[in-house]
Amino acid sequence: MRRLTIEIAMFARPPLLPILASCCSVAVVAALMITPIFVSHDEPPGEAVRFWWARIAPMSYAPFALRSVRVFAVPNRPDFCTSPESPLAAWRRISAHPQAEALFAHLLIGPRPSTRLYALAGLAQVNSTGFASALARARADTSHMLVWINTHVPTTVQVAQLVSERAAHAWAHALNHPGIACAA
Q: Tens of pLDDT along the chain (184 residues)?
A: 555 555 555 656 778 888 888 888 888 777 666 655 444 444 444 444 455 566 677 787 888 888 888 888 877 655 555 555 678 888 999 999 999 999 999 999 988 999 999 999 999 999 989 999 999 999 998 888 888 776 677 788 888 888 999 999 998 988 887 555 544 4
Distance in angstroms (rounded) separating the CA atoms of residues 19 and 23: 6
Q: Is the pTM of this model over 0.85?
A: no
Helix (H, G, I), strand (E, B) or coil at 180: coil
Distance in angstroms (rounded) separating the CA atoms of residues 102 and 90: 15
Helix (H, G, I), strand (E, B) or coil at 40: coil
Confidence (pLDDT) at 136: 92
Distance in angstroms (rounded) separating the CA atoms of residues 38 and 51: 11
Confidence (pLDDT) at 11: 59
Give the list of residues 6+ apart from residue 36 with CB closer than 8 angstroms, or none: 49, 50, 51
Q: In the Cβ-directed half-sphere of 3, how many Cα atoms lie within 13 Å?
A: 0
